[in-house]
Structure 1
Amino acid sequence: MNAGLLDCYDTIIIGGGPVGLFGAYYAGLRDMSVRLVDRRHELGGQLTAIYPEKWVYDMTGIPAIRGKELYKNLVEQTAPYNIPSSLNEEVVLIRKNRNNILCIETRKGTVMHSKTAILCLGMGAHIPRRLDIQNLREFEGKGIHYGVHSLETFRNKRVIVVGGGDSALDLALTIVNDCKDLYVLHRSDRFNAHEETTKKLYASDAEIRTFSELSAIEGNENHLTSATIKNTKTGETTTIEIDEVIIAVGLLFNLEVVQQWGIAMEGNSIIVDHNRQTSIPGIYAAGDIVTYPGKMKLIGTGTAEAMQGINHAKGYIQEKFPYL
């Protein structure tokens, strides 16, 4: 660290998902002292929490890679710089002291100091969106899933995937060749996924049921055994034997803490300028949490934003803290 200022980093990256990990690597490449902070018990964000088996297609030079492998590569990429991390630490306050140093405080009471910060928060603290089914929680972990953590869970099983967006279709394509039977349920006949993903789903062996929703589930004390599917146009229902259900109808995000930091926001997104700086000088943001004209929510876009933020944070440090 810098002499005269104990444990003051050049930058602290808040959020250890793929964008934050790449930002940490790039900060190391720019010879900056950096620390990663994440509220979860492990790094990787949604790559490790929800989508380790999901295929990722938007990384430059990599035709396709599973989430868990992308995470492994990112960790390997940062390894030469020995970047420290603070896990199970949720940042609740960011403020500047009289010397323009950022004081970053976590819910546990830990206080870290840094000249700059990069917010790589994804969409904030998230939980999967649940369906309004009476006994749903009873079967969570007993046949109800919100992601694919292991292909073995679904091998030779009868599986339902609920949802019509990219996440649902990507998960369906991840397991379709391992399942005994796969049903994809969507409330309408228009999918919200990328065109190529939708084409791949229709070319697969999955049974696609449009205008359909999961309306009820049954099972024994150990596991799910059947599911009732309702036609959203006619109201007719059918019950089928099933082993596993994956619900991928979106995530619920909590940004209440971020909204208290005094950073300008638009809805649930942080406003950044062309340097990826927020309304507070020295605090930058990258990834799905940010908004600006033309913003695209892709991992590749987020990593580019992280690089931009790091580059301008380096210039900010040289200007504001020439002696530290």
Structure 2
Amino acid sequence: MNAPAPALPAERDADVLVIGAGPAGLHAAFYAAWRGLNVTVLDARHEPGGQLTALYPDRRVYDVPGLPATPAADVIAALVRQLDGLPVRLRPGTLARTLEPDGDGWRVGTTGADGPRTFRTGAVILAAGLGALLPREARVPGTHPDVRTDVPDPARLAGRRVLIVGGVPQATRAALELAQAGAQVTLTHRRAGFRGSPAELDALSEAGRSGQLTVLAPAVLLNVTPTGAALTVDGQPRDVPADTVLILNGYLPDLNPLQSWPLQWQGEYVPDGPDGRTALPGVFVVGDLAASGQDFKLISVGLAQAAVAANHAAHHVRPELRVRPGHSSEKRLS
């Protein structure tokens, strides 16, 4: 394969920082790392995949080259597997907020579960799609000491009683992951059906039958209480004790953290050249955020943009690397 990535300069956290772990971001990370660069990928969510895993992991995608009629979650899993053995670090739960010059590179300020942090990098590739996918606000009457709208590390809730409210794929996955981690899980939704991949739904049914978790649906959440929540199940009142209540209603995209960056924004798009360059040297844009894609919000378009921008970013950071990477069939990974 290519020579291993050289050691980073002491003042840098990454050669290339990719913002967004959707298909375009993951493919950009692959190409930059395959060229021998150290890459860090930031994403606001706790798992990679962007819209594909957050909004429709169970739907089949038909336009990804070489993966016909593939569930969206499996497309992301394949893109993540392609990073195996490469110098790529995924930093989920990290929201990019600020951008400042740093010599011949950039400083990106972030917030996340571990608090604020600054990443220093030689180049930035923006692959933020429609924006950071942030949890919808929970509007539930009553008070409870631990109500959340996103799923933390499952290990942190081991041994706790957890009530999950929602029918979105995220709720199904959270119920399974938390039960496996040792939480006492109750999953509820106003309708009887839940969303998820066929395998996840089968696992949910089996977990309910075996008593690994409790499913209450259809049910209505009336209010939270200091010790749990009040529901009606089949029209009958029922109190559910819970140490943690997760209200999972999906996500809304938010570009606000990025729109203060001086990128000559055109509405929700960042103007870019044919190589993905923006108005800022060393800052590139790919995918749904790139103005050059116009209304072609297609995975296949984002993948092509990612490959082009990543190779130009590699040359920007290490000028001795040619922009053109050569054919992958002429190289091998070991």
TM-score (norm 2): 0.60
1:149 shift after superposition: 6.2
What does residue 126 of structure 1 align with? 133
Report matched runs for 1:232-243 at 5 Å: none
Q: Is the 8 A contact 1:272 1:278 kept in 2?
A: yes
Partner secondary structure for residue 116 of structure 1: strand
1:219 and 1:5 map into 2 onto residues whose CA distance is 52
Report matched runs for 1:273-284 at 5 Å: 273-284=273-284
The counterpart of 1:105, out of the listed 79, 103, 109, is 109
Partner secondary structure for residue 49 of structure 2: coil
Q: Which amino acid aligns with 2:35?
A: R
Q: Is the 8 A contact 2:8 2:15 kept in 1?
A: no
Q: Is the 8 A contact 2:122 2:317 kept in 1?
A: yes
Q: Is the 8 A contact 1:128 1:146 kept in 2?
A: no
Question: More deviation in 121-130 or 25-34?
Answer: 121-130
Q: Is the 8 A contact 1:287 1:303 kept in 2?
A: yes
2:79 and 2:20 map into 1 onto residues whose CA distance is 14
Where does structure 2 lack aligned partners over 5 or more consecutive residues?
A: 1-5, 142-148, 150-162, 177-186, 202-218, 223-229, 236-248, 323-334
Q: Which amino acid aligns with 1:42?
A: E
1:306 shift after superposition: 0.8
Q: Is the 8 A contact 1:275 1:308 kept in 2?
A: yes
What does residue 300 of structure 1 align with? 300
Partner secondary structure for residue 46 of structure 2: coil
1:20 and 1:74 map into 2 onto residues whose CA distance is 10
2:276 and 2:233 map into 1 onto residues whose CA distance is 47
1:273 and 1:74 map into 2 onto residues whose CA distance is 26
Q: Is the 8 A contact 1:12 1:117 kept in 2?
A: yes
What does residue 37 of structure 1 align with? 42
Report matched runs for 1:21-170 at 5 Å: 21-97=26-102, 99-107=103-111, 108-126=115-133, 145-147=167-169, 150=172
1:148 and 1:39 map into 2 onto residues whose CA distance is 15
1:65 shift after superposition: 0.7
What does residue 18 of structure 1 align with? 23
Partner secondary structure for residue 310 of structure 2: helix
1:146 shift after superposition: 4.5
Q: Is the 8 A contact 2:45 2:133 kept in 1?
A: no
1:293 and 1:82 map into 2 onto residues whose CA distance is 29
Q: Which amino acid aligns with 1:57?
A: Y
1:276 shift after superposition: 1.0
Q: Which amino acid aligns with 1:51?
A: Y
Partner secondary structure for residue 288 of structure 2: coil
1:219 and 1:259 map into 2 onto residues whose CA distance is 37
Q: Deviation per CA, 1:34-65: give whole Å up to 9, x if none.
A: 11111222222222222221111110122111
Partner secondary structure for residue 292 of structure 1: helix
Report matched runs for 1:197-236 at 5 Å: 222=231
Aligned-residue sequence identity (percent) comes to 25
1:87 shift after superposition: 2.2
Report matched runs for 1:245-284 at 5 Å: 252-284=252-284
2:274 and 2:285 map into 1 onto residues whose CA distance is 11
1:3 and 1:22 map into 2 onto residues whose CA distance is 21
Structure 1 residues 36 and 223 mapped into 2: Cα distance closer, same or farther (>3 Å)? farther
1:109 and 1:129 map into 2 onto residues whose CA distance is 22
1:264 and 1:320 map into 2 onto residues whose CA distance is 30
Q: Which amino acid aligns with 1:103?
A: R
| RMSD over aligned Cα atoms | 3.9
1:253 shift after superposition: 2.8
Q: Which amino acid aligns with 2:110?
A: T
Structure 1 residues 316 and 147 mapped into 2: Cα distance closer, same or farther (>3 Å)? same
Q: Is the 8 A contact 1:93 1:105 kept in 2?
A: yes
Structure 1 residues 89 and 143 mapped into 2: Cα distance closer, same or farther (>3 Å)? closer
2:135 and 2:119 map into 1 onto residues whose CA distance is 30
What does residue 289 of structure 2 align with? 289
Partner secondary structure for residue 75 of structure 2: helix
1:319 shift after superposition: 4.0
2:293 and 2:81 map into 1 onto residues whose CA distance is 33
1:55 and 1:225 map into 2 onto residues whose CA distance is 33
